[in-house]
């Protein structure tokens, strides 16, 4: 049964250990995410959630000191960040950077062409972009703006979801997509993620502090990370209990 689960998993992380500047951050993570599955990672500040996202995508600031990560039978430790993206991984940043002078449209076309064997004709790209904007209920003028330049928190996150829809990855790692958004923006963003998932079978690793986004994006599993280790796993009800009781009861169980 375990062998079957591993074969079905798109992303398989086994005993992952990692450090930054010599300090151990991750201390043996075992986690799988299948295409079409939503796995939520919760945990207090400093537990290693964002570090895990960065390491999966190959951030050179972090050193993998043990274990491995497999995606589509490829060893991620041997691949550069752009090779991981081309293979079908996507990271939505907690704090997206602004890029004045570069329009969203030009950026998306360049990024998409990096994934494709043959460059997409402009007419086909424009049609694709309009299709995705319509799907996500985004005004067409949005893509003529410079990347995140003067954007509100909600607009930055909507830009990330548009990137997600256009680039069409197999697994998306969403690092605190709900941070810096109000209730209305959160609902729009969550609806966008759900729309992309329904249309493509996207797998999602959703990192969050709060239960509120999980009211809109229902996880198949909730995993709790503390001090660089997974200490608890359950269904959506686990997030509900964390919302009402905090993490102390999980700390007590894991001691």
Pick among 3.40.50.720, 3.40.50.2300, 3.40.50.300, 3.40.50.11750: CATH of 2-254:
3.40.50.300
**pLDDT (tens digit, 9 = 90+) per residue, 7-47?**
445 899 999 999 999 899 999 999 999 989 999 999 999 99
Are 230 and 29 spatial neighbours (Cβ–Cβ below 8 Å)? yes
Beta strand 63-71 with 11-20: parallel, antiparallel or unpaired?
Answer: antiparallel
Q: What is the pLDDT of residue 66?
A: 96
Note whether 61 and 55 are within 8 A (CB): no
* Ranges of residues in the chain whose predicted pLDDT is under 50: 1-8
Is the Cβ–Cβ distance between 170 and 88 less than 8 Å? yes
Q: What is the pLDDT of residue 7?
A: 41
- Concatenating the DSSP letter of every residue in 176-219 gives STTTT--HHHHHHHHHHHHHHHHHH--EEEEE-S-SGGGGTS--
pLDDT tens digit sequence for 214-243? 999 999 999 999 999 999 999 999 999 999
pLDDT at res. 145: 95
Give the model's pLDDT for residue 74. 94
- Phi and psi at residue 52, in whole multiples of 5°? -60, -45
Residue located via tokens 């992309």:
196
Q: What is the pTM of this model?
A: 0.89
Q: Domain-by-domain residue ranges, the chain?
A: 2-254
């Amino acid at each position: 049964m375990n062998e079957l689960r591993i074969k079905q998993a798109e992303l398989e992380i086994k005993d992952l250990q990692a450090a930054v500047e010599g300090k151990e951050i991750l201390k043996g993570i075992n986690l799988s995410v299948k295409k079409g599955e939503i796995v939520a990672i919760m945990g207090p500040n400093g537990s290693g959630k964002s570090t895990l996202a960065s390491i999966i995508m190959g951030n050179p600031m972090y050193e993998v000191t043990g274990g491995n990560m497999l995606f589509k039978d490829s060893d991620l430790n041997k691949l550069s960040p752009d090779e991981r993206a081309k293979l079908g991984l996507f990271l939505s940043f907690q704090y997206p950077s602004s890029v004045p002078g570069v329009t969203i449209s030009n950026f998306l076309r360049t990024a998409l062409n990096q994934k494709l064997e043959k460059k997409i004709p402009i007419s086909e790209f424009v049609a694709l972009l309009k299709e995705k904007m319509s799907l996500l209920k985004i005004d067409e003028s949005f893509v003529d703006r410079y990347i995140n330049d003067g954007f509100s928190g909600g607009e930055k996150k909507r830009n990330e979801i548009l990137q997600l829809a256009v680039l069409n990855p197999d697994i998306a790692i969403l690092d605190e997509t709900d941070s810096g958004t109000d209730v209305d923006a959160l609902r729009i963003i969550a609806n966008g993620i759900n729309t992309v998932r329904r249309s493509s079978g996207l797998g999602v690793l959703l990192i969050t502090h709060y239960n509120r986004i999980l009211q809109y994006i229902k996880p198949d599993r909730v995993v709790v990370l503390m001090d660089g280790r997974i200490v608890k796993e359950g269904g959506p009800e686990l997030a509900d209990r964390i919302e009402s009781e905090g993490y102390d009861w999980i700390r007590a169980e894991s001691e």
